[in-house]
Amino acid sequence: MDKEFDVYIEDTEGNVIVDEKMKSLANGFIDLWLPRDKKYHITITSDGKKVESELSTFENDGTCITTMQLT
């Protein structure tokens, strides 16, 4: 698919974890690795569209987020 996205992620303390352009994989997903046991605010933009969400990486949290759609 090779679509380009601007990805911005910061933790609850305001530390920027990711601030870069990323390309989607052939299956349309973006592959992210984040430190465990933290909460994050994520913003993804592309072609004038934007999506924001909260996610966390605690032991019982999901490892694949598929509900974010650019609007």
> Per residue in 11-68, pLDDT tens?
999 999 999 999 988 887 888 889 999 999 999 999 899 999 999 999 999 887 776 6
Contact yes or no for 53/69 (Cβ under 8 A): no
The pTM assigned to this predicted structure is 0.85
6: left (phi over 0), alpha (psi -120 to 50) or beta: beta
Asked whether residue 71 is domain-assigned, the answer is no
Q: Which domain holds residue 40?
A: 4-56
Asked whether residue 21 is domain-assigned, the answer is yes
Q: What pLDDT was estimated at residue 42?
A: 94
Asked whether residue 11 is domain-assigned, the answer is yes
Asked whether residue 19 is domain-assigned, the answer is yes
Q: What pLDDT was estimated at residue 14?
A: 96
Q: Residue 2 above 90 pLDDT?
A: no
Asked whether residue 64 is domain-assigned, the answer is no
Q: Residue 3 above 80 pLDDT?
A: yes
User: What 3-state class would DSSP assign to 39?
Assistant: strand
Domain tally, the chain: 1
Q: What pLDDT was estimated at residue 71?
A: 55
